[in-house]
Amino acid sequence: MIVDSALYRNGVRVPLDTDISDLAAVRARCSDASSFVWVGLHEPSAEELATVADVFGLHRLAVEDAVKAHQRPKLEQYQDSLFLVLKTLWYVDEEDAVETGEINLFIGSDFVVSVRHGQGSDLRGSRGYLEAHPELAAHGPTSVVYAICDRVVDAYEAVAAELEEDVDEVEASVFSPERTDDSPRIYVLKRELAEVRRAVLPLREPVRRASEASVPGMSAEAAPYFRDIGDHLNRVAETIDTLDVLLSSAFDAQQARISVQQNDDMRKISAGVGLIAAPTLIGSVYGMNFDHMPELHWAFGYPFALGLMALSSLAAWIFFKRSGWL
């Protein structure tokens, strides 16, 4: 259950081989303000997380949210700790699908407990970045929040870039000379954009609060770092809104093209019917076998009738060709 855990003192990691039963002893080693513990969990059971909650004094409601997952991104304060929910995103290009996971962060003055659900956004990269920058880790638990948020938002930008490529492909297909049916893919991409929007938009408010140093328990010195994350979030949100508008326009253009193609098909069908209408009329009249019809008493009756059919068809073809129906 415990993926990784460490004690950080003055921004430097003190490695630990920690079992869940040892967490209380580890936390007791945070003897001053320069020390904190970061415990990383992956999909713990309710009983396992309850044990961790007892050690760090986590609020029951926040623990329930972390166990159930599928929460909306949010930042809440419970007594002397914070609870932050992040949605993680990654893109599966073969399926035009945005997959989601979740990270729940419990933040206290001397600890961070991260609970991860899903396969995306492994936090080892965030740990590595933090440990490579001890001057940043020296800010305490706030630095962990920044490192995780920064990595998560970077993943948002990567997903937005992938979606941009797919939207470009849809636009090229819609306006290509070939007949294509892009409506199903447009629908899928709009649905995935909605998934990204559900992750990005609610997170902007917590990040804004952190960037203004208005979150109790988070270091005011980290505000510039969160402002940078906020800029990235806003850029992703603008990209998603733009892509959504482009897909809507592409869908409208697709429907307009289908309508034009159907009208063009009907004109061609009508022209084809017109080409055979005159010969059919001539043949039907001559087939009535009246006494004074040319084929009964005239040697050139059949050639005349066939020539008249050919001439009427040629005249109709020339007319339809000049009018653009053929």
pLDDT of residue 183: 86
Burial class (CB in 10 A: 0-12, 13-18, 19+), 292: exposed
pLDDT of residue 118: 84
d(CA 39, CA 106): 10
Q: Encode 61-98: b = buried (16+ Cβ within 10 Å), e = exposed.
A: ebbebbbebebebebeeeeebbbbbbbbbbbeeeebeb
pLDDT of residue 282: 67
Tokens read off for 52: 């961790």
Q: Which of 198, 177, 173 is nearest to 186 (CA)?
A: 173
d(CA 153, CA 259): 41
pLDDT of residue 3: 78
d(CA 39, CA 51): 13
d(CA 163, CA 238): 13
Sign of CA dihedral 285, 289, 292, 295: positive
Dmax over Cα atoms in the chain, in whole Å?
124
- Orientation of helix 223-286 relative to helix 183-211, angle to 10°: 160
pLDDT of residue 226: 93
pLDDT of residue 314: 79
Q: What is the pLDDT along the chain (326 residues), one digit of tens a residue?
A: 777 888 888 888 887 666 666 777 777 777 677 789 888 888 888 888 998 898 888 999 999 999 988 889 999 999 889 999 999 999 988 888 899 999 999 999 889 999 999 876 678 888 899 889 888 888 889 999 999 999 999 999 999 999 999 999 998 888 887 877 888 889 999 999 999 999 999 999 999 999 998 998 888 888 999 999 999 999 999 999 999 999 999 888 888 887 777 777 677 777 777 667 767 766 666 665 656 555 556 666 667 777 777 787 777 777 767 766 66
Tokens read off for 149: 């948020």
User: What is the Cα Rg of the chain in Å?
Assistant: 35
Q: What angle do CA 133, 49, 54 make, to 5 degrees?
A: 90
Burial class (CB in 10 A: 0-12, 13-18, 19+), 285: exposed
302: Cβ contacts below 8 Å, ≥ 6 apart: 295
The answer to whether 97 touches 130, Cβ cutoff 8 Å, is no
Global pTM reads 0.79
d(CA 134, CA 154): 21
